[in-house]
Amino acid sequence: MAVAKSDASLQDKKGERLAWAFPLALLLPATALMLVLYAWPFVSSVYRSFLAKGGELTLANYQKAFELYFRDVVFSLEVAILSTIVAAILSITLSAYVRLSSGRLVKLISLLYRLPIFIPFVVVGQMMRTFLAPHGLLNIFLAQVGVIDLNAPLQLFNMQGLVLSFVWKQAPFMTLIILGGFQMIDDAFVEAARSVGANILQVILRVLVPMNRASISVAIILAFTSTVGTFTLPFMLIGGKIPTTVTVDIAHRVTYFGDWGVANALGVLMYLMVLIMAIYYLRYSVKKGIYEA
């Protein structure tokens, strides 16, 4: 009896000693995947951005990237920031409208707005080429209603057209996230604001938006990073014209010059653009829970 008991306690001790390893074992598959599929290509890409064609370490790739493409880096940032801001305003407005109204129109809108989410960037690019062309649908429509002269149509294969296309594609996706957040907010918070005198606009700006900061931030970060990284849409709309986006430049460097060094340097610059957002997102998601008490 006594022997059996000590056997059991021995096994218990062994179990305790191994207990620390169990959670690590659970984490191993996910960690390994992250390392192989994400960390290794990323580190290797950063490393190669410092390699000259002969294999020696150098800053030449960055120097060249700045000399040739600085204007495009700024352009990419401008497009991403502008389209994210416009899409955010639009999606917050639309979400607030759907959240605070009722009726058939709202049901129709809440169905329709989702459609662009399912259309790939390349199709959006093709659509926008016909829609925004000098004699495309938009210009013909504007000429019909007398806003412009079709002999001098709006030129939209540039930043404006790109921003418009990104907004068309990103705003529905942002609305999906933001509306979800708005719908989690109990009616009583909205009604409490109205009872003390807030009109609809004040309810949106002072209650809905601040109470929904988390999902709005997520929507902005996701839309911004995806806009920065999109290649097809700017390629189809602007192509190799100057200025264009960094993604187009990267493809250009690789396709025509086989220049992986400068392409990787440009990739690192792009990564730095989204890094600020990524840091904010990570910090925010760690801090999250402040308001959910």
The residue within the footprint of another protein, chosen from 213, 226, 251, 254 (CB under 8 A), is 213
Shorter beta-carbon distance to another protein: residue 192 or 272: 192
Q: Give yes or no for residue 191 binding another protein (CB under 8 A).
A: yes
Q: Which stretch binds another protein (CB under 8 A): 10-18, 149-157, 194-202, 231-239?
A: 194-202
Which member of 202, 205, 272, 285 binds another protein (CB under 8 A)?
Answer: 202
Handedness of CA 209, 272, 69, 238 (dihedral sign): negative
- Figure out which of the listed residues 3, 25, 196, 201 binds another protein, where binding follows CB under 8 A: 196
CA atoms of 111 and 175, how far apart (whole Å): 12
User: Could you give the count of Cα atoms lying within 13 Å of 111 in the half-sphere of its Cβ?
Assistant: 6
Q: How far apart are CA 262 and CA 236, in angstroms?
A: 22
Separation of alpha carbons 18 and 272, rounded Å: 41
CA distance 164 to 207: 29
3 state SS of 248: helix
Tokens read off for 93: 């407005």
Contact between 205 and another protein per CB under 8 A: no
Q: How near is the Cβ of 37 to another protein at its closest, in Å? A: 38
Q: Could you give the CA distance from residue 15 to residue 147 in angstroms, rounded to a whole number?
A: 79
CA distance 179 to 35: 35
Binding segment toward another protein, per CB under 8 A, in 36-44, 56-64, 76-84, 183-191: 183-191
Residue 188, interface with another protein (CB under 8 A)? yes
Least separation in angstroms between residue 206's CB and another protein is: 7
Could you give the CA distance from residue 10 to residue 19 in angstroms, rounded to a whole number? 14
Q: Tell me: does residue 288 bind another protein (CB under 8 A).
A: no
Does the footprint of another protein cover residue 210 (CB under 8 A)? yes
Under the binding rule (CB under 8 A), the answer on residue 111 touching another protein is no
Interaction between residue 211 and another protein (CB under 8 A): yes
- Residue 218 identity (one-letter amino acid): V
**Integer Cα distance of 191 and 117 in angstroms:** 32
Placement of tokens 């014209």 in the chain: 241
Question: Between 77 and 198, whose beta carbon lies closer to another protein?
Answer: 198
Which residue's entry shows tokens 């605070």? 100
Stretch that binds another protein, among 79-87, 223-231, 276-284, 285-293 (CB under 8 A): 285-293
Which window, 117-125, 152-160, 180-188, 267-275, contacts another protein (CB under 8 A)?
A: 180-188
Which residue stretch of 32-40, 136-144, 146-154, 197-205 sits at the interface with another protein (rule: CB under 8 A)? 197-205
Is residue 107 at the binding interface for another protein, with CB under 8 A as the rule?
Answer: no
Q: Which residue has the tokens 């093709």?
A: 126
Query: According to the binding rule CB under 8 A, does residue 64 interact with another protein?
Result: no
Q: Give the CA distances from residue 128 to residues 133, 166, 172, in Å, rounded to whole numbers and listed in that order.
A: 8, 10, 16
Nearer to another protein, 211 or 254 (CB): 211
Residues at the contact surface with another protein, assessed by CB under 8 A: 186-189, 191-199, 202, 206-207, 210-211, 213, 291-293
